[in-house]
Amino acid sequence: MRIHDRNWMQIEEALQRDDRCVLPIGSTEQHAYLSLGTDNILAERVAVEAAEPLGIPVFPALNYGITPYFRAYPGSVSLRVETYLRVIGDILDGLAEQGFRRILIVNGHGGNAPAQAYAAEWMADHAGVIVRFHNWWNAPKTWAKVMSVDAVASHASWMENFPWTRLLDIEQPAAQKAPVDLDRLRMLTPRGVRALLGDGNYAGLYQRSDADMLAIWEVAVAETRALLTDGW
């Protein structure tokens, strides 16, 4: 259940029965012809669909992440690593203070990787609270499903092109984009990244069928839900 759809009294009552919650984290950044909010949309949606049948609260997605390499693309906003980790820490502190003891972070953006190490460090200092960190898009079962559909999958390509990340009246290119040199990309300034990437897709087709995408989504939701139910 989305926190947005409840009041504080309902959450207090829910905490009497269950100490689990979900925190989606994403990024506001270029995704070629897709929404600048793609990472937020997907992280929050997979979290909500996974948690809803279990009655577990899902907090709003943390909409800004670590994405300095895309700063030359208008609309892409990056937080400094230090700032980001302080925000993550403050949120975890708040959740723990209110009684949440099992926290699943559902991450939708690769650049947020420092938060995974930080979450482990935070958990070591907070006995009795378990924090799981889940990169939903490349979790084992979900990534295997992606690869079974099309092995050329990357940032801003078809693998992020779901019905809910597309924009109205925006046509996707029909061609398959050749892979960029990732080793070279990592050494470039934001302007250099934009010059090399062009529209922002790293490699692959821009869109596949809804049947392909919904089959991947089904696996992603089930894999995320399993983390909420098993092994705490």
Quickly state the pLDDT bin for 178 (edges 50, 70, 90).
very high
Tokens for 154?
């990357």
pLDDT tens-digit readout, 86-145: 999 999 999 999 999 999 999 999 999 999 999 999 999 999 999 999 999 999 999 999
Domains and CATH numbers, the chain: 3-229 (3.40.50.10310)
Residue-level pLDDT at 231:
86
Query: How many angstroms separate the CA atoms of 124 and 174, rounded?
Result: 49
Q: What is the DSSP letter of 65?
A: B
Mean pLDDT, residues 190-208: 98
Which residues, 6 or more positions from 150, have their beta carbon under 8 angstroms from its beta carbon?
Answer: 158, 159, 204, 205, 208, 212
Residue-level pLDDT at 149:
98
Q: What is the DSSP letter of 75?
A: T
Secondary structure (DSSP) of 169-209: T-PPP-SPBPPP-HHHHTTS-HHHHHHHHTTS--SB-S---
Q: Decide: 28 and 150 in contact? Cβ < 8 Å.
A: no
| Among the listed residues 76, 82, 77, 78, the one whose alpha carbon sits nearest the alpha carbon of residue 66 | 78
Q: Decide: 200 and 73 in contact? Cβ < 8 Å.
A: yes
- pLDDT of residue 18 exceeding 90, the answer is yes
Which residues, 6 or more positions from 191, have their beta carbon under 8 angstroms from its beta carbon?
Answer: 72
Quickly state the pLDDT bin for 37 (edges 50, 70, 90).
very high
Quickly state the pLDDT bin for 46 (edges 50, 70, 90).
very high
Strand ranges across the sheet with 130-135: 20-25, 102-107, 130-135
Let me know if 17 is exposed, middle or buried by CB neighbors in 10 A (0-12, 13-18, 19+).
exposed
Q: Which residue reads 């980790």 in tokens?
A: 85
Mean pLDDT, residues 189-209: 98
What is the C-alpha R_g of the chain? Answer: 18
- Element housing 220 (H / E): helix 210-229
Residue-level pLDDT at 217:
98
Residue-level pLDDT at 38:
98
